[in-house]
Structure 1
Amino acid sequence: MEWIGPLIGFAVLGLLAALVFYVIATLYIRISKLFTRKHRPTPTPVAKSNATPLKRPSKSNTRQGAAFRWVPFGESVSVANAEIAGGGFYLGDHTRPHSPAVPLVDPALRVDFKQQEWSAELGYWPEYERLTPRQRGTLLAYLNSKRESTQVAIGYVFLYYYGLERRIFVDAFHDESLAGELPQLVAEVQRLHRVYGPLNHSFKQYSGRIATIGPLLYDSPVPLQPYDSFPWDMSEEMAATLGQAVKAGRGLTAEEAMLWASTLTNASKGKAYSKVLPEIRALFEARYREQYPAGLGVPLPKTKLKFDVMLSAPGYRSAEFATDLPDVRRVSAPLKPVVAMLEGV
């Protein structure tokens, strides 16, 4: 048992050595951190952009509206260290819940401007956060352009159009203070419809509705659409034009009366009528003006004209808005003499 004493002594010495090593190591680490902090180089300040950068809302701010904002037309913003001019889109945090969904540009997501993909197919209902960095760079480059290139894939155009659509039928539709934006918003949709409608049937259908009846949102006249054959029935656009005439209390022009009458008779539906449309128009106008020098007056119906607009953005279905115009689509009795006149031409 004589070996137990020396063994205990060695153990005590080992513990003391370990304790001393721990104390020395701790002091060394603390001194090193202090020295590094004092001698750390000052970071070079980043040059400020003239654009208006978006600041993410603090976590304590739970208001839904703080998660995104509409960038007005003409304003420039900074996204991925690039200035995007022109406005006309939403900017914000896609991770925050929005109801209904907001088609926005999230400045926190990675963007690649060097390798753009202008012809990339983005699939049905594209979303900014689901795009690749290259595709985001392409969209931002498109937004930073005149937005009229016919070489860009239609998915990028739809991404831009989603924002216009929402601004019209969600924001301005429920906030009267934004009514002043409607003429410019509708005018932009009309421009896009002219550029991209002939290139894509789906975009033509969606944008065409707003392009045609959009002026009714701010009480602007809807002109009579040109035609090369008699219509089979009364479209909403024609109903709006005729409703404006009836509401104003003025007599129908020969053109308006002939189109309205053509929707109430099958005689004008044949191909023969379309082939001789110019001759029929001339004969009808002569007889109509002789019988109704001031135009035919139509009593004001009580029912108001309503529109259902199918929206294209994901998460949306349709929007309905009622106008102050009378709904003339079910009015037929006052037009009987004019129908007989058209059938007798």
Structure 2
Amino acid sequence: MPYWPGYSDISPQCRATYLEWLATGRSDASYNPGYMFLYFYGLERRFFVDQSNEDAKEIVQEVRRLQSLYPDNHSVRRYLGEFLDIAMIAETDLDAIEPIFEKQGWELPFSLKYAIGAQIDKGENLTADWLLSWFICHPETNLRTPATRCRDEFAALFRMRFDRRFPDGLKVTKPRKSLTASYRAASSEFQGSANPTVDGKPVPDISGLRKPVEIAQELADEVMNDLDKLSRFLGRNPDGRGSVEAHALLPSELWDAFPSEEMDHLKSWASDIVDRGGLVPLEEVIGRLEGETNEKIGKRQMTGAADALARLGFGLAPDPRFALRSPKAEEPVVLFSLGEPIERLEEVSDSYRSALIELALGSFVVHADGRIAEPERRALEDQVSAATLSDQERRRLRANLEWFLAVPPDMALLRRKLKEVGQDNQAAMRAALVGAAHADGIIHSDEVASIEKVYKALGLDPALAYSDLHAGEVSDGPRTVRASQPGRPGEAIPELEKASGPKLDASRIAAIRSDTERVSSVLGQIFDVEEEESGASGPASQSQLAGLDSKHGALVLELVTREHWSETEFETICASHGLMASGALEVVNEWAFETYDEALLDEYDGYDVSPEIAEAVKEKMSAEGRDV
């Protein structure tokens, strides 16, 4: 049976088979599709050449039935689909034509042009579905991976954004050109045409309109950008749809449309934790979110956990973006209510940062003698209540207070850390302590004792507290009641023993106290009690990219030279750097998440390289005078 069979050209045996297929109901798909095409040639001629109106609907229905017999045959889908695209108008009411959400060729489907043109002719505004259909089927539009990998989410979010921007629908200017259709027969024996009308009038042809397509592309680009992180996650985890991590990457508008059973379980668990006081091991939080925990929990995991919980209306303290240090895996964290679900956590205010510093210093004080007295706890709680903060910041600050009280600092390690930060930064720390004591303008004896206690715990000379307090411009010495009168000479009163260590200048204290960012940085160094990795890297092992060793750094510099690598190519270049492909993929993507908050490599028919990260790496190398 040839590709374009003709009844007069096929062998007698094939003719007999064709007649048998006709006689048995024309429904046996085990026969060669060529026999079905012989039959179809007659149907298309009857419709377009004979233009038989009395059986036009029956012809369309029969062709649709034939198409269903061979759903996986490309030729059947193409030729019968082209026929139906034009001929369906004969049997389908205008209102019954539905949008098409799959690109079918190099032209807009005729039925789509007919339906949209008729709506424009009637003065009707386009709905989101019709604009989306127009966009998807248009030969010049661009659909990136997020739109195809997250197909349902893309369509749903496009509709939402369209309705927000065009609540009454999109008004489209009526084009002057009328719609016509040319049909080239599958048998190649004739050409047909159609000039559709609505209510006896020609239908406008939308083929040449540009503005609606540009509007659709703008909306689609916005939606694809918002789905990019979800798309990358699903690229790495094809079975991850519906998981906690996937749901956390959904734009908030889609939360109700795409519910997650795992998120419901997580919300119930978090609510129980908050009801019990909020303290929970960090390992348990990460395990709940990711299904497993590693020995080391990085900033990216902590940030992801905080974002996922925020979308459910819960906060995590300490949040690594706002905290002085991150907790260790074996330490607890505090879950608390944010009051409402939040899609994206905003930057905290300077007032919050100042209040957090004061609480941190207060925690030094209450932990200095190894126990927390109830009056000390109440004093810190009063600090939280008195701070000028938003409701959400106050909730976060109160949770951080609970964490400060629950997780005592390692004083021995803090002493070593304080020595490592240098005298200037030690001075900043001392200034912050004195500043906290000066907050109410009065220095109480118990405050002096507390500062002495902290100084001693941190390995500083307690006597420095007095000179620091004087430098803070608060008078705590004796006041002059009357002028002194010289008396009889006697033994001279010895001078007070001077504290060892550099003195604080009053103006310097004022400057440091006003510089919240610097004090936060110093406290961050001191509070971050995680041990540094042993052994400094020598020049030979250093990478040109911070956070990567020399091998992985060199691998990244090679990867960013191209937009895509096949799986074989990736394995080859990994081997050239002495690396295993699977391990290298995990390392460079983890580094990319830590540095740029997204993966460098997206697994999709090989490996796509993030253009944003590639550009950033190239700019960094160029700024340092090195080419990639």
TM-score, normalised relative to structure 2:
0.31
Maintained 8 Å contact 1:262/1:339? no
Q: Check 1:194–1:289 CA distance in 2 against 1; reply closer, same or farther (3 A cut).
A: same
Maintained 8 Å contact 1:187/1:211? no
Shift of 1:224: 1.6
1:344 match: secondary structure: helix
Amino acid at match of 1:154: P
Aligned to 1:192: 66
Shift of 1:205: 1.9
Whether 2:36 is the aligned partner of 1:157: answer yes
Distance in 1, matches of 2:128 and 2:83, equals 27
Shift of 1:181: 1.2
Amino acid at match of 1:328: I
Shift of 1:264: 7.6
Aligned to 2:99: 224
Amino acid at match of 2:57: P
Maintained 8 Å contact 2:63/2:84? yes
1:260 match: secondary structure: helix
Shift of 1:167: 0.2
Shift of 1:207: 1.1
Aligned to 1:143: 22
The Cα offsets for residues 52-102 of structure 1, whole Å up to 9 and x where unpaired, read as xxxxxxxxxxxxxxxxxxxxxxxxxxxxxxxxxxxxxxxxxxxxxxxxxxx
Maintained 8 Å contact 1:252/1:297? yes
Mapping 1:1-345, distance limit 5 Å: 122-172=1-51, 178-199=52-73, 201-217=74-90, 220-221=93-94, 222-227=97-102, 234-261=108-135, 268-313=142-187, 316-324=189-197, 325-333=203-211, 337-345=215-223
Distance in 2, matches of 1:147 and 1:210, equals 19
Q: Check 1:268–1:276 CA distance in 2 against 1; reply closer, same or farther (3 A cut).
A: farther
Distance in 1, matches of 2:35 and 2:175, equals 44
Q: Check 1:264–1:344 CA distance in 2 against 1; reply closer, same or farther (3 A cut).
A: farther
The Cα offsets for residues 253-279 of structure 1, whole Å up to 9 and x where unpaired, read as 112123435678988422233223433
Distance in 1, matches of 2:105 and 2:8, equals 44
Which protein is richer in helix relative to its size? 2
Q: Check 1:196–1:264 CA distance in 2 against 1; reply closer, same or farther (3 A cut).
A: closer
Percent of aligned pairs with the same amino acid? 26
Maintained 8 Å contact 1:232/1:262? no
Q: Check 1:147–1:292 CA distance in 2 against 1; reply closer, same or farther (3 A cut).
A: same
The Cα offsets for residues 139-184 of structure 1, whole Å up to 9 and x where unpaired, read as 2222122211012122221211111011011001xxxxx3121111
Shift of 1:309: 1.9
Q: Check 1:186–1:272 CA distance in 2 against 1; reply closer, same or farther (3 A cut).
A: same
Distance in 2, matches of 1:170 and 1:194, equals 25
Maintained 8 Å contact 2:176/2:204? yes
Q: Check 1:135–1:305 CA distance in 2 against 1; reply closer, same or farther (3 A cut).
A: same
Aligned to 2:581: none
The Cα offsets for residues 191-215 of structure 1, whole Å up to 9 and x where unpaired, read as 111112523x333321111122211
Q: Check 1:231–1:258 CA distance in 2 against 1; reply closer, same or farther (3 A cut).
A: farther
Distance in 2, matches of 1:185 and 1:134, equals 28
Aligned to 1:102: none
Amino acid at match of 1:143: L
1:297 match: secondary structure: coil
Higher relative contact order (CA 8 A, sep 6+): 1
Q: CA RMSD in A?
A: 3.1
2:27 match: secondary structure: coil
2:176 match: secondary structure: coil
Distance in 1, matches of 2:65 and 2:75, equals 16
Amino acid at match of 1:280: F
Aligned to 1:63: none
Q: Determine which structure has more spread, i.e. the larger CA radius of gyration.
A: 2
2:40 match: secondary structure: helix
Q: Check 1:164–1:337 CA distance in 2 against 1; reply closer, same or farther (3 A cut).
A: closer
Distance in 1, matches of 2:70 and 2:15, equals 20
Q: Check 1:321–1:148 CA distance in 2 against 1; reply closer, same or farther (3 A cut).
A: same
Distance in 1, matches of 2:81 and 2:101, equals 15
Tell me, which stretches of 5 or more residues in structure 2 are unaligned?
198-202, 224-628
Shift of 1:337: 4.8
Distance in 1, matches of 2:129 and 2:40, equals 34
Tell me, which stretches of 5 or more residues in structure 1 are unaligned?
1-121, 173-177
The Cα offsets for residues 5-39 of structure 1, whole Å up to 9 and x where unpaired, read as xxxxxxxxxxxxxxxxxxxxxxxxxxxxxxxxxxx
Q: Check 1:304–1:186 CA distance in 2 against 1; reply closer, same or farther (3 A cut).
A: same
1:304 match: secondary structure: coil
Aligned to 2:470: none
Distance in 2, matches of 1:318 and 1:230, equals 21
Distance in 2, matches of 1:270 and 1:280, equals 11
1:171 match: secondary structure: coil
Q: How many residues align?
A: 216
1:305 match: secondary structure: coil
Maintained 8 Å contact 1:230/1:259? no
2:195 match: secondary structure: strand
2:99 match: secondary structure: coil
Amino acid at match of 1:296: L
Amino acid at match of 2:48: F
Q: Check 1:137–1:334 CA distance in 2 against 1; reply closer, same or farther (3 A cut).
A: closer
Amino acid at match of 1:168: F
Maintained 8 Å contact 1:245/1:252? yes
Maintained 8 Å contact 1:206/1:312? yes
